[in-house]
Structure 1
Amino acid sequence: MAQTFDENKPIFIQIKEKIADQIVKKQLIEDEQIPSTTQMVQFYKVNHITITKGINLLVDDGILYKKRGIGTFVEKGARHALLEKRKEEFIDRYVLPMVQEANKLELTDEELGHVIKKVKEGESI
């Protein structure tokens, strides 16, 4: 079964994100070998070059490392690095605009905190 991909984003970027997600979710751990390119080609039903390009982005970011002739492995501290990067992106993409809008609406810190807590708990406001 072929995996579905978002047609608005390059597939190699989505491959990179899927591997990174597995590291964040502890499905791949430090010093563990990731599936081979061939295995990923068969699983995702995409070109070998596409898989390699996604993996190489993670190697360039210091998240994965290669052992020549053996395979590709998760770098020590990779999960921590990914979490820190994602937290920064989360703040920039979601929290900052939310706080700016809350300020426009003159919400107090307490009101904003209450709204966030309710949403996080899955309750209606």
Structure 2
Amino acid sequence: MAVDPVKLHDRLAAMTFASVYPMYVDKVERKGRTLEELHTVIAWLTGYDDAGIAECVADGRTFEQLFDKAPAMNPDASLITGVICGYRVEEITDPLHQKMRWLDKLVDELARGKKLTSILRG
């Protein structure tokens, strides 16, 4: 059964960052990583600092708003490749969906114990 790309985009656009952020925190901390490392990964992708991330969580910002208002999306984000949640991130055509999966992929790599320099494509 094919997923309607418009419906998927609308559903993803309405998701709040605050609804997923605690799951990111839990995932990385359960695997022995720190909140500081998680924030480093989010900052690398979006340009938000700690205060900016806290503001995004507090104000109920959607993922669409999170990325639209990002201080500086990293130009190296296109180097993020691989499969996350059944999607090959480099093949996703919807820009919002791709940015969300980039973030998911970075969080997953952090939780799996990858070195930060590798996660940040350094």
Higher relative contact order (CA 8 A, sep 6+): 2
TM-score when normalising by structure 1:
0.28
Question: Is the helix fraction higher in 1 or 2?
Answer: 2
Which of the pair has more CA radius of gyration?
Answer: 1
